[in-house]
Structure 1
């Protein structure tokens, strides 16, 4: 909900986002090739944010969760929260043998190992290779 249109780089298939932790803030998040068109279609140059309410303003988490996500879960007869998607993503990436450090970088998790934290760098090409394993 916090992603501004200006932070989406469609041609390079990534956006910058995240705000909760130091490792997650303003991180590069690759866009999977299978959802690229969905994001492209959602972008509206008249809106500041990628995901908006009906008036084109930023969609609050409360509205997203209570008026959108919960209703979809009820219709599908499922019991999940948005955070569950992170568990699924991490599991699917691991099952696809994606690079562990790339998974951490995409998810915004801090690396604990000094080599990974300080000396190992992942560029957008490597993150795209990891995400496209799904």
Structure 2
């Protein structure tokens, strides 16, 4: 499930394991998360309509985090990578790293014709263009339109 969420949200794998249930707004189809860069910290991430139910089913009100271990405790990136991702890649005989999911997300969004600025905002990339950075605003409705193009 976590791989699918990374591909459909553009989150860095380390950001995914940090998503708190309190920051997920299912009724408005977005959550807040992210870190690493100024543009990526606490950003609005739209929820694709096809993964909405998946997130809803995964959310456990007794857990603080969306992605947890079997005891309901926070799953560290180390465990996510070594005990989940690597094992699945070995079983599938594939050689991918978790960050490849972000490449897939960006490619799928671009192939679907999503607005370049929306892709950057969802992924938490800084914008060097002063017009886009300062004067162009993307609200959640516009980000939802972009994400639903997948």
Q: TM-score, normalised by structure 1?
A: 0.99
* Structure-1 residue corresponding to 2:128: 112
**Alignment partners' CA distance in 1, 2:123 and 2:129:** 16
* RMSD of aligned residue pairs (Cα, Å): 0.5
* Structure-2 residue corresponding to 1:25: 41
* Structure-2 residue corresponding to 1:64: 80
Alignment of 1:82 with 2:94, yes or no, is: no
5+ residue gaps, structure 1, are none
For residues 29-65 of structure 1, give each alpha carbon's deviation from its aligned partner in whole angstroms, at most 9, with x where no partner exists. Answer: 0010011110000000000000011111110000000
* Structure-2 residue corresponding to 1:96: 112
Structure 1 stretches (4+) deviating beyond 6 angstroms?
none
**Alignment partners' CA distance in 2, 1:77 and 1:12:** 38
Q: TM-score, normalised by structure 2?
A: 0.88
- Residue in structure 1 matching 2:89, options 63, 66, 73: 73
* Structure-2 residue corresponding to 1:53: 69
* Structure-1 residue corresponding to 2:12: none
Quote how far apart the aligned CAs of 1:19 are: 1.0
The structure richer in helix per residue is 2
For residues 70-96 of structure 1, give each alpha carbon's deviation from its aligned partner in whole angstroms, at most 9, with x where no partner exists. Answer: 111111111101100111110111111
* Structure-2 residue corresponding to 1:126: 142
**Alignment partners' CA distance in 1, 2:79 and 2:100:** 18
